[in-house]
Structures are given as structure tokens and as C-alpha cells.
Amino acid sequence: MAKTIIEKIWDEHVVYEEEGKPDLLYIDLHLLHEVTSPQAFEGLRLNNRKVRRPDLCYATMDHNVPTRNREQIKDEIARKQINTLQENCEEFGIPLANMDHPDQGIVHIIGPELGLTQPGKTIVCGDSHTSTHGAFGAIAFGIGTSEVEHVLSTQTLWQAKPKTMEIKVIGELGFGVAAKDIILAIISKFGIDMGTGYIVEYTGEAIRKLSMEERMTICNMSIEAGARAGLISPDATTVEFLRGREHVPTGEAFEIEAARWLALASDEGAVYDKTVEISADEIEPFVTWGTNPSMGSGVSNNIPLTTDFTEVSDRSAHEKALAYMGLKEGMPLTDIAITNVFIGSCTNARLSDLRTAASVIEGRKVHPTVKAIVVPGSQTVKKQAEQEGIDKIFLDAGFEWRESGCSMCLAMNDDVVPAGEHCASTSNRNFEGRQGAGSKTHLMSPAMAAAAAIEGHIVDIRKFQLDTVGV
Amino acid sequence: MEPINEVKSVITPLYQKNVDTDQIISKEFLKRIERTGFGKYLFYHWRFDAEGNPNSKFVLNDERYKDSTILVAHENFGCGSSREHAPWAILDYGFRVVIAPSFADIFYNNCMKNGILPIKLSVDEVEEILSKEEYNVEVNLEAQTVTGEDGVVYSFDIDPYQKKMLINGWDEISLTFQYEDHIKAFELRKA
């Protein structure tokens, strides 16, 4: 019978099944970071338990780390949390890319970079954006700290088999439209909880044409549609991305693996519990105006009116969001003034993202009212960008060029958007206070954020680039 | 974790959908390496203004609900970040039950691991409960019911495995160790 990739991977990982119980699922890769792991390690110590497979774990420090002046972390509690991860990894024998390590970076950026992320794997991490790794055709999902402890102890998790959903992106993307716009458009069209209870597979020609970096951007934000995991069947693009990476086999062994990976792709005629479609050619460059990722729209539009919503709870959510954002219903999105720009995060801080943003700002200056920072996703991305001279382009334009980490995406370190200020951000969440208490986030693609940095307000990247060609 | 079966309390009505875990526990409180002590930071930026004074309009500052152990909210409660600090804060504050029409998957799971009972009722039932003034209810997990002081009984579904875990307060890791032979066999098969 024709099977989806989701069923194939799931079935391969069931350790034990019994009627009336969730499946006991084996976990191939457990990624760890400093914020959601300390209580799990403490639990192991309290119960005198060991880490079952330290060789299947990999840890780094990303959420809390400063992106400048790393030698002295002023925040004492943050420093303690970072040191705790170092000590825990030493005690339990877990490989760690610490702050001084050349592989350090956002956990979801370094997994693929190192080739730890591979098709067919089950991957977990105490972080909801673990869905990123699904871009390779893996079942990858975020877990809580109790589950982190469970995986450390047993290398398994009890999981009810999720339902499957196909999100088909048909047709071709238009000029100036990025992977970020596809996923923001999907979330806006189908809602912030459309994926609850499902693992999503993204299909369609528009998805097939995307690079691995772009696929990661899409899968990364599956959780913003409520899906714990989102994935894309592996193809030649996947195989070529992984070839030669540190943790993948070499020579003949790689070819055997590659053939196995390709065979995981969903079979022709496989049936999903639900299928939805979106036309790529209808998708515009997207920005959010509200306080969750579904509150967004194509950049040429105006902010919706409260009366556009029929449900009372939607109307009150809309009013509350606009009151928080300090925006008026019906106003054009391009009228929103921007004072902060953040190019970074596990959604959009890979080399291709930085290249795209750099191409937009090259030879221009950041608007005088804007403070703009670039935080590369990893030390590897940073080094590669510097080799290409991308850092110079950003610095010449007036951006700050930082060390790698999660940074202003969630503002756990000192990279904070001041209260009341609007930020054009390439990150994944625009919740109240996400980038700092009172901060107002507008999610968009790297090119859109870069253009906003130059103009000091939200702009339509298509017009911006056409004007450039015109000059 | 502490077993849970019967909980009796006035409900705390939080008339809002898509409450994300960033609101439940804000990032500045995630740096601690303990599991306890998060209750005072629950809904911090809704509970307190920028100067740290209580916001009198927020429901957690309403005297009528100060001893409440049951939180009722709207759809998609607990969306966003996987931070287990969210259920830790809810539990530490004193809630044992959260009722909503739907929950985000990771948050729902995290509740189960901490002895918090997440109850799914229909949108209409939740609307009805939220519309009643100072509504006292009795939750019975064994019977899978929420019984109002006015005699209205709301029934809910829950996965039988998770129900058993909650009622007994079992440590899941100890239980999984009983499957060690299966895990070993699986690893041998894969190797």
C-alpha cells in the first residue's frame, strides 16, 4: 500500500506497540541547549540515572548567549545556566559546541550544517522550532523538559501516532517572493492552530524548487501553524546538501545511504488524513501586523477592519492586538514606521539569507532612525559570510555584525527591542513582548527586513527592487 | 508527580484565544535552573504594569479568584514555545486543571507530565462556563466530568493511558525502564 514518508519513518521507529497505549518511539538524534535541559539533568542525578546514548545527543549554547563581549557574561543567572550545560555535558559525556567552539550556533542551524540532521531520522529537542529539521525528510519535533529527561534516560518517547496532513503549494512563486512568504501565507490562510494534532508534509512544485535553506525556513514555522512537525520528502537537493558534511558517511557508504533516503519519499497515491492547497502565484511578500504569526497579510494590503471578522472572539483578539501594536485598522502596511531591524534566528539566519539581505542593502545606508543588527545563525555561517565580504556590506550600510545565537528572536540575552518600538524581524514569533517587554514585532523575509532598514518603514520589496533596476 | 482525580474550585475565567506560552511565562524568567518557584511570574506582563504594580483589570488580580485551582480559557491555549516552564508556572501558582476548547500539542503533553489536567470541552460549553458569574465546579477525572454548582454536567474525553498516568501520578521513566528488553532489541536490529 502506498505510504507517506511520515508513516514510513514512524513505522521504522516503533520499539513497542500495544492497543490502548501510545507507541514507544525510538529517537535517533537528541539536540540540547542551555534553557530547557538543566532540570532534566537534575532529574537524572536525583534518581541516579544515566544518559542511555550520549552518542546520539548533541548540545550547544544558543538561547542565552551574548552576541558581543562574550568573554564576560554580565547576567549572572544566564552565566550560571550556560555553565550548567557545560558541566552537565562533561558529567554525562555529551558532545557540546560551547561558546568558544567553531561549530557553535543556533541548534537548528548547526544540526543540518554538521550533517547530524538526516532523512529518515527521528529528531527531538527541547525547542518548538525543532520542526526545522523536517526539511530533510525527518520527523523532528519539539518536546518539554520532562520529555528531554525521558529521552536522555531511555532514548525513547511514548507518542500517539499523529494524523497526517499534506500542504500542497501549487504553481510558481512570483518575483520578490521568498520561502518566508510561503509559510506566513499558509499560516495566515489556514490559521495558527490548523496543524494541531498533525505532522505536515509540504508538497508541490513550488516546494520542490526550493533550496534546502528555504525548505528549512518553511518547516521551521510549522509550529506556528500548530504542527509539532513539518517535513519535505528528500530528493536530489537534499542529498547534494548533505554530501561531504561531517557526520554523514563518505564514498560508497554515502551512495547507499542516499538511495535509502530517496526511497523514503512519500509514495505516489499515498493518502493523508487531510490535504489543503495554496497557489504560489497568489502569494505576495508578507508582513505581520498583529501579535501572532497568523495576523499577517500581503504587503500591498491594509490592516483588516474589526468588522471583517465574524466571530466575537476574533474581533476582540483583533482589537487587542492592534491596541498592543499601536496600529489602526485599515491603515496601509507600508505606512508602519520601523526603528529596529533584526536579521537572524533559526528561521532566517543561514548564509543564503544573509546574502539576500546584503544584496538589498549593498551601497545603501540604514535609515537614520533605525538600529539594525545581523546575527548569523552559527559561527560557520559567520565565517563563510566574512570570507565573502558580506560582513563589510552590512557594516558599511550601518548594520551591527554580531556573534551567533538566538539573540533578538526571543531577547533572552541583552539584544532587546525597546518598549513601544517596532521591529522588522526575520524571526518566527510576533507574540506580545517576544523581542522585549512592550516590543512590537513585524515578521517578514530577509529581503523585506533589509529594505525596511534602508527606508525606515515597511516597504514592498518588489517595488524597492524595481526602483533599483530603474536607477 | 502528584496524583490528580477530584478538584473542586471556583473557575478563573480568561476570555482569550491563542494564549501563547510567552505570555504564560515570559523569557526573562527562563534562566533559572530549578523546576519550582515560577508561580509568581505566571502571566507576569498581564498581571503587572511596567512598574511592577498589579494590573487591576487582569483576572488573576481579582480577589474573587485568588484561591481558584481551575483556569478556563479559549481555543488553542498554550501555543508557541515548548517551554515546560509554562505548566510549571501554572502549577506553582496553584492551578491543577486547565479547561479550554483546544490546546497546543506540546503544552498539552507538558501538562500531563506535571500532574496538571488539561480538559477539552466544546467551544459552546467553554463559552457557557465563561459566561457564568463566580462559577464553582467539581472536576472528576475518574468519571471524566466537570459538574457545575447549578447541576450542569460537562463530560470530557481523555486518552486512557494519560488518564491512568495522571490518576496514579506515575513516573513515566520508571515505567519505560520495564521495556528495556524491547529497546535493546530495537537497537540491535538497527545496528
State whether B110 and A128 contact (CB < 8 Å). Answer: no
From A21, A38, A431, residue closest to B80, measured CB to CB:
A431
Cβ neighbours of B182 in A, within 8 Å? 15-16, 24
Does the pLDDT at position A420 exceed 70?
yes
pTM for this entry: 0.97
pLDDT for position A312: 87
* Among chain A residues, CA nearest to B23: A432
Does the pLDDT at position A336 exceed 60?
yes
From B22, B76, B159, residue closest to A433, measured CB to CB:
B22
State whether A150 and B172 contact (CB < 8 Å). Answer: yes
State whether B16 and A64 contact (CB < 8 Å). Answer: no
pLDDT for position B191: 82
pLDDT tens string A111-145: 999 999 999 999 999 999 999 999 999 999 999 99
Interface test with A, best of B34, B44, B81 (most A CBs within 10 A): B81
pLDDT for position A469: 59
From B33, B87, B160, residue closest to A38, measured CB to CB:
B33
What is the rounded average pLDDT of the residues A190-215?
98
Does the pLDDT at position A470 exceed 90?
no
Does the pLDDT at position A250 exceed 80?
yes
Gap from B76 CA to chain A (nearest CA, Å): 7
pLDDT tens string A204-224: 999 999 999 999 999 999 999
What the block records as the C-alpha cell of A217 is 525556513
What is the rounded average pLDDT of the residues A282-301?
98
- For residue A226, which of B103, B101, B88 has the smallest C-alpha distance? B103
pLDDT for position A471: 45
| Local confidence band at A272 (pLDDT 50, 70, 90 cut-offs) | very high
Gap from A465 CA to chain B (nearest CA, Å): 34
Cβ neighbours of A38 in B, within 8 Å? 33
State whether B82 and A142 contact (CB < 8 Å). Answer: yes
For chain A, the three-class secondary structure string (H helix, E strand, C coil) is CCCCHHHHHHHHCEEECCCCCCEEEECCEEEECCCCCHHHHHHHHHCCCCCCCHHHEEEECCCCCCCCCCCCCCCHHHHHHHHHHHHHHHHHCCCEECCCCCCCECHHHHHHHHCCCCCCCEEEECCHHHHHHHHHCCEEEECCHHHHHHHHHHCEEEECCCEEEEEEEECCCCCCCCHHHHHHHHHHHHCCCCCCCEEEEEECHHHHCCCHHHHHHHHHHHHHHCCCEEECCCCHHHHHHHCCCCCCCCHHHHHHHHHHHHCCCCCCCCCCCEEEEEEHHHCCCEEECCCCCCCEEECCCECCCHHHCCCHHHHHHHHHHHHHHCCCCCCEHHHCECCEEEECCCCCCCHHHHHHHHHHHCCCCCCCCCEEEECCCEHHHHHHHHHHCHHHHHHHHCCEECCCCCHHHCCCCCCCCCCCCEEEECCCCCCCCCCCCCCEEEECCHHHHHHHHHHCECCCHHHHHHHHHHC
Cβ neighbours of B45 in A, within 8 Å? 432-433, 437
State whether B173 and A22 contact (CB < 8 Å). Answer: no
Is the CB of residue B23 less than 8 Å from the CB of residue B45? yes
pLDDT tens, residue order, chain B (191 aa): 999 999 999 999 999 999 999 999 999 999 999 999 999 999 999 999 999 999 999 999 999 999 999 999 999 999 999 999 999 999 999 999 999 999 999 999 999 999 999 999 999 999 999 999 999 999 999 999 999 999 999 999 999 999 999 999 999 999 999 999 999 999 999 88
Instruction: Give the A:B interface size as CB pairs under 8 Å.
Output: 169
What is the rounded average pLDDT of the residues A164-175?
97
Cβ density class B122-135: b for 16+ within 10 Å, e for less: eeebbeebbeeeeb
State whether A226 and B30 contact (CB < 8 Å). Answer: no
Query: What does the mean pLDDT of chain A come to?
Result: 97
From B20, B183, B190, residue closest to A292, measured CB to CB:
B20
